[in-house]
Structure 1
């Protein structure tokens, strides 16, 4: 994020082009029931179960959604040393740490010796579900004629759009597995959040722009596409377009921003966000004579239950209070995820300050929901109308990661979060605010 100083991020890649209207507020989201069926024991079993179950799903879903029969994929191939050369590559080494779909051979191939075991170790069976369902999602695209459509009009079907569609079809599959459990592949709340973390791990490198050849998407855009399929189904995926997606990743705006990987030092971040978010909250509240409180450090330890960023108590909602940061608690997030992780928590507290000034309760589940959504709305206005501030590559990815890491952003002014909501819901509310603005919060 660039500001008068440049404010932003560090790890993955996100940027911004324009915001697009959202699909509606996530107010009625509820997590799936906890997983109750035992999971497969190892990576190879997971891959075999996933490919069988995903293709079996499309045998029913494809004709139901698109009015065409499903044609079974010709080759589903685990690639390991000694197995020979897989389709569409020159050497087995090209498959290392990869999974791919080759339309010419109608083949889904995956690295069974490295990639799949690593996914299984890090994310469990759902990591394998996400990667292989994504590749089978490309086979869905081929059966819908998108290979020919891309050849006719590459501008309408850039790589990043086809990747978003495949992420979307992955969301469709995960939703099906959550609703109708598959033996060995349970999908509950924890697995659904792990699915999002898997996508975060496959984001583009920092500095890749949405229009670049071969771009696959930053973490925010990939998670957003997954959510579209999870919430709305396969026909939503097939109808995706570049304008509808509003891809958010951008290049670095300056050499200085690139040199620091989009991140400000923590002290500079707090100075910058303390000015910009305060002005934003003051305007958001729309209360004559009220100015949002200053950003302080260590001013109200009694509000520690809210997390690293807090809205300090105030007997009078119009009295001078503070949005406060516990610097030692925020520093690991800043170092580990990037500067916009902390900015996400701080701007949510400023959202609560604006609500309190306007007479809206800042305790209870609805207040926590609004805090997350308003943090997204703050980021959204930086996308569409940046003045002194703008997002750097990676900022929105950092927001996604901190929302998945803990419920700090969703805690109300008493430090309580809605126990019925988890990472998926927090990311959904953030996206709704980003795309729809404060009115949807």
Structure 2
């Protein structure tokens, strides 16, 4: 079940807009679950879609209608191709007027109002239902049609699971199919469907690389609250885990989603490691954070570039200010080998997203410095790609660090959000990035570095 959308607009988005970066809010709260209150009962709604006829063109309701039809048609083709079985059409799609006290509730809940700000798939009734008065218009307003599409594609992903027998398997062995795994599968199937919509556009559902990023931003909004562990019954995945599953489906197809198990899927969210970390919400003050990053990233740097001095953090540098500013709130200066930081700009990022969003920007500049140190050009598109990958590699060092400086719950979410919102991490030493790339590609490169280490980012030979 998808629900609860309450994102603030980051103050620093105006800066990103000025730098021609698509700026949308990425801080939603909420969760997804297929446990719903009420009683499963035979569907009394039309088998195609319980949506008011002919909603206004371009409205959230029109997008929902087009989406449900497109998803049903897609899985009629994809399910047999991927799994060798016929696709039984979903029995009910229900758009629920949650603001109307007289509205008939959909299958599996007792009151229409119980669905406020939510969407769900109920396997007992084979029904997908959503809040047509609150959730969908809000998603549409904040993320465009892609916000509506990804939520419905996720819920239909649960229907794919049900048709593959996952529900029965979970009942037999819930330890093998924890909630977080089922949610990752549904995110993965959503990625499969959206890849199809990019390849074969549907009227009324604009879907290109920018809309794909919007879908990911919407998905990020349903991440778990920080401090939830993967084994918790309510766990549904942090932002990194959810977009990772989406990307796996997008790139690898439905079979990859069905093959997910607790043995081959690593989830990165963590509980707080100390009462002190819990009390500060996992965030260090900016200057304290930068001191830790300078020390720790410096040791990481010298381990990969022996004999070279690690960059130091400074408020200026030997490079002209315009060369530094072009890189964003943190900048690598090839002239002196150091990393200059704009404390005011980093403070905005730190305050609006979190401390590790700022740390990720600095880590990207250490990545450019490392490329320069090992003889790779610090300018050009390969440098920007390498910087993003190396920022992920450095982050992976902190994921399960035995002691000292390590990631707090929520840190990976903060990195994902800044990668989606801005291209700063992917800029080279001249401040240029690849205009053909979007947040999807930045997160994919960051993830490669995090999972596979710095060797996957550095030039070979």
Determine if contact 1:273/1:343 at 8 Å carries over to the other structure.
yes
Aligned partner of 2:304 in structure 1 is: 284
Determine if contact 1:199/1:223 at 8 Å carries over to the other structure.
yes
- Pair 1:419 & 2:435 matched: yes
**Could you tell me which of 150, 156, 159 is aligned with 1:139?**
159
Aligned partner of 2:194 in structure 1 is: 174
Q: CA 1:231–1:374 in structure 2 vs 1: closer, same or farther (change >3 Å)?
A: same
**Could you tell me which of 78, 83, 104 is aligned with 2:95?**
78
Secondary structure at 1:109 match in 2: strand
Aligned partner of 1:307 in structure 2 is: 328
Determine if contact 2:391/2:449 at 8 Å carries over to the other structure.
yes
Aligned partner of 1:206 in structure 2 is: 226
Aligned partner of 2:84 in structure 1 is: 67
Determine if contact 1:12/1:397 at 8 Å carries over to the other structure.
no
Determine if contact 1:303/1:313 at 8 Å carries over to the other structure.
no
Aligned partner of 2:59 in structure 1 is: 42
Paired with 1:12 and 1:322, the residues of 2 have a C-alpha distance of 36
Secondary structure at 2:153 match in 1: helix
Aligned partner of 2:236 in structure 1 is: 216
- Structure number with greater CO (CA < 8 Å, separation at least 6) is 1
Aligned partner of 1:297 in structure 2 is: 315
Determine if contact 1:40/1:185 at 8 Å carries over to the other structure.
no
Q: CA deviation at 1:196?
A: 0.8
Aligned partner of 2:174 in structure 1 is: 154
Aligned partner of 1:30 in structure 2 is: none
Secondary structure at 1:245 match in 2: coil
Structure 1 unaligned regions, length at least 5? 1-10, 14-38, 315-319
Q: CA RMSD in A?
A: 1.6
Aligned partner of 2:47 in structure 1 is: none
Paired with 2:456 and 2:116, the residues of 1 have a C-alpha distance of 44
Paired with 1:390 and 1:329, the residues of 2 have a C-alpha distance of 24
Aligned partner of 1:242 in structure 2 is: 262
Q: CA 1:389–1:415 in structure 2 vs 1: closer, same or farther (change >3 Å)?
A: same
TM-score (norm 1): 0.88
Aligned partner of 1:116 in structure 2 is: 136
Paired with 2:455 and 2:118, the residues of 1 have a C-alpha distance of 42
Aligned partner of 2:376 in structure 1 is: 360
Q: CA deviation at 1:12?
A: 8.1
Deviates further, 377-386 or 105-114: 377-386
Determine if contact 1:40/1:125 at 8 Å carries over to the other structure.
no
Determine if contact 2:28/2:222 at 8 Å carries over to the other structure.
no
Q: CA deviation at 1:393?
A: 0.8
Structure 2 unaligned regions, length at least 5? 1-26, 30-55
Paired with 1:402 and 1:326, the residues of 2 have a C-alpha distance of 16
Aligned partner of 1:323 in structure 2 is: 339
The runs of 4+ residues in structure 1 deviating greater than 4 Å are none
Paired with 2:405 and 2:345, the residues of 1 have a C-alpha distance of 25
Paired with 1:150 and 1:92, the residues of 2 have a C-alpha distance of 28
Paired with 1:12 and 1:74, the residues of 2 have a C-alpha distance of 30
TM-score (norm 2): 0.84
Aligned partner of 2:351 in structure 1 is: 335
